[in-house]
Chain A
Amino acid sequence: MIPFAYSKPTAVDEAVKMAGPDARFIAGGTNLLDLMKENVARPERLIDINALPLRDVETTATGGLRVGALVPNSDLAWHPEVEARYPLLSQAILAGASPQLRNMATTGGNLLQRTRCYYFYDSAVPCNKREPGSGCPAKEGVNRIHAILGASDQCVATHPSDMCVALAALEAEVIVTGPGGERRIPFADFHRLPGDQPERDNVLEADELILAVELPAERFTTHYAYLKLRDRASYAFALVSVAAALEMDGDRISTARIALGGVAHKPWRVAEAEALLVGQLADQANFAKAADALLRGAQPLEHNAFKVELAHGAIIRALGEAAGGITQ
């Protein structure tokens, strides 16, 4: 940990003015403090945003739900509006971390949590995400938990969030503000693939602040499933997770959304896979076709080839549960 200056603004524009490449916003701190102790994050200034008025959960004019960036993960998961209107989100949040962490972690912070790649966390070894240009030992190293889709030569890390997988499936928007004013970022565009800039997890600029996450009007309250597969029953990151949401027209699927976690640098969606299901019967054969499409082009590493098969099975299982309308 390096010495840092600390400030606690009470207004959003004040906070944004303080922002810069040498500074980091801090809310729950569940990830940032760990990273600072390990010298992975080395901010010279911390801007504590906990005094900003970003804690509301409110219905929008279009019938959606706007969730303030500072709403804790626990509060959001157990919020009556979320439980009733976005049960997939509630389920995904509760699949993540531990109760203690969810109590501290915030909505905005969850979007910004960083990969759990072992090499990223160990400042004694190379990592392109931590030290651009230093190399990626994970590619040929201990890579059982790493990406099978969308990785680059420079980085094979995955995004660790469960909440974000549900938000991707629900097509939320991220509302951010900066010196240029507010902008809305579709969830699919918020996180990025590593490419040749693995140090950038998302498109947020250093002087931008997340204000809220906005969910579109309620859908998928009957046919949804969040399936998380991991190495222990709780407090473990996903090897593979699937957020599946369907709308049914009789026994046929009218809308399908499928997002994968634990397999890529961002929640993974494939439009073609979802389109394949529209108008089709909700059966294993069709689910398998969607799974094939989602996983097309997968490039497993030495120790994570199992993720392809695991994800395939998980997609079929999650779609089956969603189609069945199982109350989870």
Chain B
Amino acid sequence: MTPVIKVENISKAYQIGQIGTGTLSRDVDRFWKTKILGKEDPFLKIGETNDRSIKGESDIVWSLKDINFDINQGDAVGIIGKNGAGKSTLLKLLSRVTSPTTGSIKVKGRIASLLEVGTGFHPELSGRENIYLNGAILGMRKKEITRKLDEIIDFSGVERYIDTPVKRYSSGMYVRLAFAVAAHLESEILIVDEVLAVGDAEFQKKCLGKMGDISKGEGRTVLFVSHNMAAVKSLCNKGIVLENGKVLFSGTTDDAITHYLQGDMINQRLIDIKQRSGNRKVIFKSVKVYGKDETLNPVTGDKMTLEFEIENPLNLSSSDVRFDMRIDDNFGQRLAWVSTSLKDNVVILNTNKIIVYFDKNPFERGVFFVTVYLGVNNEDSDLIENAFSFVVEEGNYFKIGSKVPEGQSKLLIDFNIKYQ
């Protein structure tokens, strides 16, 4: 396999904080030191790792630092990482929106990037005119667009409104049209940011299908950034995990996702989460989610444990504290609700830990998001929406190796069935 993208020692420094007063004097200072005195650029020397949660000394941070990887032709690569890991910066560099501070990226073939759908759409122009405009912005030639026009209109499903100005479109129609143009780009390499988080479920499925065709059927290379692990898993065959501007892992999708989530699992600190409500008498400190034993990931059908560490400075007893937990799927659909109020024989290891376990994990493989709640004597103490997520790996729920077809169900139940 020949690499079509070769990323070598890419770094990108950003200045954080206010850019405004002082830029001129700093520019002059910098120019003086580097060009006249021939010293090292002071701007680059003081850079530090981009860790959002730690207060840094300097106002220059490395959003990406010494990134190296190769991407082969026909690969669909998922780029995953937490917010601020440098995913978007990497995409920006690859799509040439901005340029790296150091290093180089070598590319074979045409790159089309979709950091946003509908870039450059003009509200006053009709759908048809916007197809041409947006296509041209994305790098298509006019005759290329004319050739594909029918296909694009057909894919978008807004044929009836195609000669209406797009300002009259519903937001869904707008996105459909925009994605349709992008999906028909004839580039060898397609870069996609999380643009699929739009449109209805049917259209999302269509988009994912189209992207799957692009990478699998047409042998083109796709780079895909997403927080939707299910989408990454179904679409990509390779994965790159970024953390704090560095490549944490590069390999198969499954391993990458495991790595990404494991990174989470070790350090699922809930105490740092700012978006929470309640009087904070007892609060969540951290959580660990694991399968058969503490080192294994949760697997469908096996035992799964969620272990919460809580901070209980007032030493409240378990009869005063109420714990609720809701598990949603990646579309925010509510799947399950667990609460101490539903049970009377709650197991307490000690007053600083709450352990929830399922003897037979009912969740089908995928990502699940958990909202947690602690209450003390009918008052909210700590409520964190979407506090953390966990991934369930494929397992053997029915013990005979049978599987529910993909996408048919998120939850599995034991049942009896017979002919009569």
Answer yes or no: do A and B interact: no
Binding site for A on B (CB under 8 A): none
Binding site for B on A (CB under 8 A): none
